[in-house]
Amino acid sequence: MRAFEYASATSVQQAVSLLGASWEETEILAGGSDLLALMKDDVVHPRRLVNIKEIGELRGIRGVAEGLRIGALVTLNELAEETRIRQNYPALWHAVDEAASPQIRNVATLGGNLCQRPRCWYFRGGYGLLARGAQGESLVVKGDNRYHAILGNEGPAYFVSPSTIAPVLVAYGARIRLVSPHGSRELPLEKFFRVPRSECYREHDLAPTEIVTEVLLPSAGGTRSASYEVRQKEAFDWPYATASVVLRMSGNTVESARVVLGHVAPIPWPSREAQEAITGKPISEETATAAGAAAVASAKPLDRNRYKVQLAKVAVKRALLAAARA
């Protein structure tokens, strides 16, 4: 690991004042479960780490008129143990409870989970976010792309968004708050993720001078929700595909729906096609199957990840059926 400066902030304003103008200058240290591994592998090498673990205002879960405000330093374990999450946001509780391992959930933070970098082995191997060769060609397209994107992969990005929690939060309509030396801004979590077009950009709408301070989770009253993961084993493993569903019903009929896929695109992938396929209809085996097919109708699998099309289709179907039973 390369040498670096270390600064510990005790307030949000102090933290942002310590940030540099580029990612090469500074990175933020919260739980560290992802960042430290990247630094040890020399994938990222900031000249300064800004520790934010001592900032009390970034902790805690509190009820507000809109729903819940969750501090960026709340750990995944704290989320899993929060009664209001389990009772009112069952899809989120399930995703958090299944995330990573107990050891990681005890240190990993919500903000860090949303800001974690792709698990693409080309990126982790030092070939850059877009994994290009010496002549600018994509190493992914002609290489080992078993776990890469099947949606939103027109290029040049082929990695998949790594968070299993982000798609659920997007389905619930969560918002994220960012603070910089110039003030704060709030945006839909869906807009926080983006597909980079060059190595100059990251996969988050987050400037080097900003930090994530909290997530606003709107009230889920009157909704039914579920998430479904397809992975190789029940123990700690990365999913092949996930689907998160939030339904608002009128009797047995779907009044409105949010269907968001995970681990199949460079961003959490809202499927308008799946939503349209079930709106105004009851949830049944037939309609859930049709929604699953609609969700992957525009998929563009690569040579070695075609299996993900079927897995994503099944994930959507099973998430919908589970939500309807909730």
Percentage of the chain with pLDDT > 70?
100
Convert the pLDDT of each residue in 148-204 to its tens digit.
999 999 989 999 999 999 999 999 999 999 999 999 999 999 999 999 999 999 999
Q: What confidence score (pLDDT) does residue 64 get?
A: 95
Task: Determine the average pLDDT of the residues in 95-118.
Answer: 92
Residues 308/311/312/314 CA torsion (nearest 10 deg): 160
- Domains, the chain: 5-54 (3.30.43.10), 223-325 (3.30.390.50)
Distance CA 148, CA 302 (A): 8
Q: Lowest mean pLDDT: which of 1-5, 207-211, 310-314?
A: 1-5
Convert the pLDDT of each residue in 271-306 to its tens digit.
999 999 999 999 999 999 999 999 999 999 999 999
The mean pLDDT value of the chain amounts to: 96
Distance CA 149, CA 165 (A): 18
Q: What confidence score (pLDDT) does residue 233 get?
A: 82
Which residue in this structure is represented by tokens 């959930």?
Answer: 105
Q: What confidence score (pLDDT) does residue 101 get?
A: 84
| CA of residue 157 relative to chain centroid, distance | 16
Q: What value, to the nearest 5°, has the Cα angle with vertex 243 and ends 239 and 246?
A: 145
